[in-house]
Amino acid sequence: MTSPDHTDQKPVLTSSAHSSDKKLNKLLNVVLNEVSLYAEDQIKHIRQNAKIGQALSAEKDINKLLDMIITEAKELINADAGTLYILSNDAKRLQFKILHNDTLGEKIGRTGGNEITLPDVPIYFENGEPNNSNVSSYVALTGKTVNISDVYESGDFDFTGPRQYDAATGYRSVSMLVIPLRNHENNIIGVVQLLNAKDSETGNVIPFPNDYVDLIASLASQAAVALTNAQLIEDLKNLFYSFIRSIATVIDEKSPYTAGHIKRVVDLTMLIAEGINETDEGVFKNVYFNKDELEEILIASWMHDVGKIITPEHVINKGTKLETITDRIEHVKSRFQLISKLTENEYLQKKLLIFENSLNNEKKLMQLERDMEEKLKILNDDLQFIINCNNPFGFMSDDDISHLKEIAVKSYSFNDEDHPYLTDDELKNLSIVKGTLTDNERQIIENHALMTIKITEKLPFPKALSNVPEYAGGHHEKLDGTGYPKKKSGDALPLQTRIMAIADIFEALTARDRPYKKPMPLSQALVILEKMKSDNHIDPDIYDFFVEKKLYRKYAEKELAPEQLN
């Protein structure tokens, strides 16, 4: 149950007689009328103050909030100009933020469009003494409200600043009201300075009425609380973004190129999303991402590879087919060196046998030499072929794999045991047709998308950012449903996810820092994307927009090597 709202009730004038004395009755009616007008004026200001309080509480953008504080304060008591200062983090300065001057038609500050050139006001001098000579710093130090009828006649403070401003602009500063901004903990966080109150009927500059000081102090209190809340929200948002970037730093420690990939995907994703916002033609002419939706896309793109935190480093960084913690091609080289020495030793034993048996047959020795050289040559050719197979560039044909298997089944004897030239695991890895990953390793890599969803779903995103897990975890999905991790297709894939998918693919194709592939020319990357469009893997409208608006070129000129820009 709510109590009646008495602010909606207006004083009621009555024409009934209050006295038998006509003069006295007339006087009483005048008094009643004046009281009624005063009450109406007070109710009007109360309503206006309440309305302003609601507006201040609803505004979360600090820049707009600062501007609103001065605008509403000026309108509430009909001031011609106003200035807003915010206490610096070290509490040693008042930082100039906003200046409005109706007479000069001037707006300076965050939303005014003009550059801030006015200096900060020191609260303490260099020797540590408090700056009580400046009226704004005095208010910040003491928390007292100062109401001055004429700054030129006041001897209480140093008004060199206003006088210089007047001299430079032709303005005349007269009345001034300076009020502290106190937050919910009663700490001063800033100062509002209002200038030149105006008579509502004549427009003449008058002193600020004392009756309005409490009213503007109430507004200042509401403004301070609203500003504190907005700053808290901004601080939390900055903390969250710092947390996101710290995750990218962790991934950077695991894989430098992956962290570079994350930032570039962010840039590409936002390039496309903001491009769609700017277009007024084509299939996206009626598509517009608001501020919250853009932030949602931004955070999702920053977090799209967060699942790689659990991916083993040797899989993420696998630069050759035999690489694990180290590149096992070195083990194969050492093994072949051993086989080579064993081969040489075998033939030396045969030579010794000829000499011991006095079978000094020069032809047999020469044949042994030729046989040994031939066997060593085959061994060396096999090793070179294996080294080439370990290289991630290019493809393995069926003939290549068959030849690799022929080498693998060869054996050598060491310590009375037979050993294959290649182990089963080495053969499996070297037989990878394209790239460096086995099917199992590819599954480990692909699992990062599902882990991204699981990790981001644990974060308490506000309603405006609730789609971050879906967007972040879906960047490997394909329109035909053959992607991962959830094999979504068609309309089940949001536009934001489709944008990120193209950004992720294009960055991966053109990246210069991958250990397992050469940087791809721009033209080749576009050919591959065109093929993916034809195969219904990527969104055709986004791809066409990406090409027609030359967004790929804008990105390429910033990130790609000159030789890639063909």
- Please count the other Cβ atoms lying within 10 Å of the Cβ belonging to residue 57: 14
Task: Give Cα 437 distance to the centre of its chain.
Answer: 31
Q: Mind listing the pLDDT tens digit for each residue in 334-353?
A: 999 999 999 989 888 888 87
Residue 4 confidence (pLDDT): 40
Structure tokens belonging to residue 442:
């590819």
pLDDT for 467 beyond 70: yes
pLDDT for 487 beyond 90: yes
Q: Map residue 168 onto helix, strand or coil.
A: helix
Helix axes 329-356 and 362-390, enclosed angle (nearest 10): 180
d(CA 283, CA 541): 7
d(CA 471, CA 485): 12
Strand ranges (E), 51-125 = 79-87, 93-101, 106-109, 121-122
pLDDT for 493 beyond 60: yes
Lowest mean pLDDT among 116-125, 220-229, 423-432: 220-229
What is the per-residue burial (b if ≥16 Cβ within 10 Å, else e) of 455-489? bbeeeeeeeebebbbbbbbbbbbbbeeebbbbebe
Residue 37 confidence (pLDDT): 57
Residue 3 confidence (pLDDT): 40
Q: Mind listing the pLDDT tens digit for each residue in 28-62?
A: 676 666 666 555 655 555 555 555 455 445 545 66
Lowest mean pLDDT among 111-120, 121-130, 164-173, 514-523: 111-120
Mean pLDDT value of segment 76-80: 88
Residue 225 confidence (pLDDT): 75
Q: What is the DSSP letter of 124?
A: B
Name the region of 561 (left: φ>0; alpha: ψ -120 to 50; beta: rest). Answer: beta
Residue 9 confidence (pLDDT): 46
pLDDT classification of 556: cutoffs 50, 70, 90: very high
Return the biggest CA–CA distance within the chain.
Answer: 162
pLDDT for 224 beyond 80: no
Q: Map residue 189 onto helix, strand or coil.
A: strand
Mean pLDDT value of segment 220-243: 78
Percent of the chain with pLDDT over 90: 46
Q: What is the mean pLDDT of the chain?
A: 84
Global confidence as pTM: 0.64
135 or 309, higher pLDDT:
135
Mean pLDDT value of segment 20-26: 67
Residue 494 confidence (pLDDT): 96
Residue 412 confidence (pLDDT): 92
Residue 124 confidence (pLDDT): 93
Q: Among 134, 112, 111, which Cα is nearest to 123's?
A: 134
Residue 151 confidence (pLDDT): 93
pLDDT for 13 beyond 70: no
Mean pLDDT value of segment 208-218: 80
Residue 244 confidence (pLDDT): 83
Percent of the chain with pLDDT over 70: 86
Mean pLDDT value of segment 373-383: 94
Complete domains list, the chain, with CATH? 56-232 (3.30.450.40), 255-316+440-564 (1.10.3210.10), 329-435 (no CATH)
Q: Mind listing the pLDDT tens digit for each residue in 146-199?
A: 999 999 999 899 998 889 889 988 999 999 999 998 887 788 888 999 999 999
Under 8 Å between Cβ of 188 and 181: yes
Residue 471 confidence (pLDDT): 96
Residue 7 confidence (pLDDT): 43
Residue 56 confidence (pLDDT): 46
Q: Mind listing the pLDDT tens digit for each residue in 412-446?
A: 999 889 999 999 999 999 999 988 888 888 888 88
Polymer length of the chain: 566
